[in-house]
Amino acid sequence: MLFNSIDFAVFLPIVFLLYWFVTNRNLKLQNILIVASSYVFYGWWDWKFLSLIIISTLIDYTVGYFLGKEQIRKKRKTLLWISIISNLGILGVFKYYNFFVSNFISAFSFFGTEINAGLLDIVLPVGISFYTFQTMSYTIDVYRKELEPTKDFIAFSAFVSFFPQLVAGPIERATHLLPQFYIKRTFDYTKAVDGMRQILWGLFKKIVIADNCATYANLIFNNSSEYSGSTLVLGALFFAFQIYGDFSGYSDIAIGTSRLFGFDLMRNFNFPYFSRDIAEFWRRWHISLSTWFRDYVYIPLGGSRGSTWIKVRNIFIIFILSGFWHGANWTFIAWGALNALYFLPLLLTNKNRSHIETVAHGKYLPTLKEFSFMIITFSLTLLAWIFFRAENIEHALSFIGGIFNGMFSKVSLYTTYRMLVGKLGIPLLIIMILFIVTEWIGRSGKYALEYTGLTWKRPYRYLLYYAIVASLFWFGGEEQQFIYFQF
């Protein structure tokens, strides 16, 4: 079920009314409703894959239960590995089996040996990478004795399947989200209104920004050999705004929806395109995944402690794993490796935490130096996104090569101008500029509309909201599935 669908527009009010007006006096019933609603939400896509969520839930609940009773370290580690192997095994079969088999066949073919190995004709379950990592966080935290194992199976099932963030995050930690299912929730009008504002902004980012950009990004990437340099740059720009609007828009809707039900989810995006270096970008982009890898992989490997070799090794491991998490394709691995190369100079010179505060904090405009750093960082990110979007490595390299093919020629610039003004349209261009300005103005908040307009008189504030709603209908692009559903 898509957040930007009629189905969800009907589903959400029904669940909301049942939650606050039927089950509100009984915490157990509320949690049961969340589990049932989450299963309906996920099963709307394909009910057969609900079995995978249930299996993950049963495995990690059981492992957590026995970890709570076991004190012998060797046996505790065995239990932990049962969870890790089971979860990653399921993920590996559905997401990575065909990748490894096809590369195995290609490797032997290169040396003149033909191998017959069958590929699996299976569909990748939506969101499997997200809920797999979420359940694993519970087992790992219980193993580390940072969290008491739960005895409430319903609460744990609700934690694993919580529908707002089930299929595309944020990837919640058990230490943060699970305890929220133990306590009675009371309706908070202020929190609910704030949640609705965040949902509205998320829908705008998805429907108006991402879906429109997707049309042109797909056109240019799918026909990249037909376009010259400046148009290819435009295609990369469209994809950069598509993936940001799409994924951060989903996160906004997920977080806002959770607030309607009295839950707080972790922040997943913090205006990453205003970053002044790559380290800052990765503290602001897909925060729940970055911090997951940091806490459960990077730090256990030694982090930034030890020799230069250890630091370099750990950075490449963490970024390549992050790339591979996104998909079974060499393009994602190349994307991760390229970001590792970007990050290394900052780490080795101890400048990876130079920019912690929000850029131009308390000011209307950045300094020339800050602006230059933002442009450089965004340009590096744009280059990496080409690998992320390309069909394969050859496509990415040819796309990058094409960028430098007459980028500033009159024909190239004229084609790009026609693409912008003729196909995209002046009104939509103005909306995209206003979007960037709104994000800049609201960069100190958790999302752009958190404080924007709150001090205005009510008629002007509501005029802003009505204008955003109207733009969803007037300027909404062709409906596109959320990009991160495939991960």
Residues 263-306 have pLDDT tens digits of 999 999 999 999 999 999 999 999 999 999 999 999 999 888 88
What is the phi/psi pair of residue 250, to 5°?
-60, -45
- Measured distance CA(4)–CA(8) in Å, rounded: 7
Please say whether the beta carbons of 480 and 210 come within 8 A: yes
My answer on whether omega of the bond before 459 falls inside 30° of 0, hence cis, is no
* Contact indicator for 195, 258 with CB cutoff of 8 Å: yes
Q: Give the amino acid at 30.
A: Q
**Res 411: pLDDT:** 65
Phi and psi at residue 218, in whole multiples of 5°?
-65, -45
φ, ψ dihedrals at 306, nearest 5°: 95, -165
Average pLDDT over residues 455-459: 85
- In the prediction, which pLDDT does 254 show? 96
Question: Which residues lie closer than 8 Å to 257 by C-beta, 6 or more apart?
Answer: 3, 12, 164, 195, 199
Confidence tier at 154 by pLDDT (50, 70, 90): very high
| 21 CB-near residues (< 8 Å, 6+ apart) | none
pLDDT score, position 288: 95
With vertex at residue 484, the alpha carbon angle to CA 437 and CA 157, rounded to the nearest 5 degrees, is: 115
Q: Taking residues 239-243, what's their average pLDDT?
A: 95
Catalytic residue, chosen from 176, 286, 326, 355, is 326
Long-range CB pairs of 469-474 (<8 Å, 24+ gap) are: 469/200, 471/204, 471/208, 471/431, 472/203, 472/204, 472/207, 472/208
326 is catalytic: yes
295: which residues sit within 8 A by CB, 6+ positions away? none
Alpha helical stretches, state H, 96-170: 97-110, 128-143, 153-161
Integer-rounded Cα radius of gyration of the chain: 23
36-62 average pLDDT score: 92
Average pLDDT of span 242-251: 94
Task: Give me the pLDDT at residue 19, please.
Answer: 96
Residue 465 CA to residue 384 CA, distance in Å, equals 35
Per residue in 358-391, pLDDT (tens digit) is 999 889 999 999 999 999 999 999 999 999 999 9
pLDDT the model gives residue 455:
81
Amino acid at 463: L
State how far the Cα of 374 lies from the Cα of 358, in Å rounded to an integer. 12
When pLDDT is averaged across residues 195-206 and rounded to a whole number, the result is 96
Crossing angle (nearest 10°) for helices 27-46 and 153-161: 40
Q: What mean pLDDT is predicted for residues 135-151?
A: 95
Average pLDDT on 322-349 reads: 93
Between 121 and 53, where is the model more confident? 53
User: Residues of the chain with pLDDT > 70: what percent?
Assistant: 94
Q: What percent of the chain has pLDDT over 90?
A: 67
- How far is residue 369 CA from its own chain's centroid? 30
Q: How far is CA 424 from CA 195, 360, 421, 429, in A?
A: 31, 31, 6, 7
Neighbours of 472 (CB within 10 A): 15
- Burial (CB < 10 A; 0-12, 13-18, 19+), residue 431, is middle
Among 139-143, 226-230, 259-263, 291-295, the minimum mean pLDDT is found in 226-230
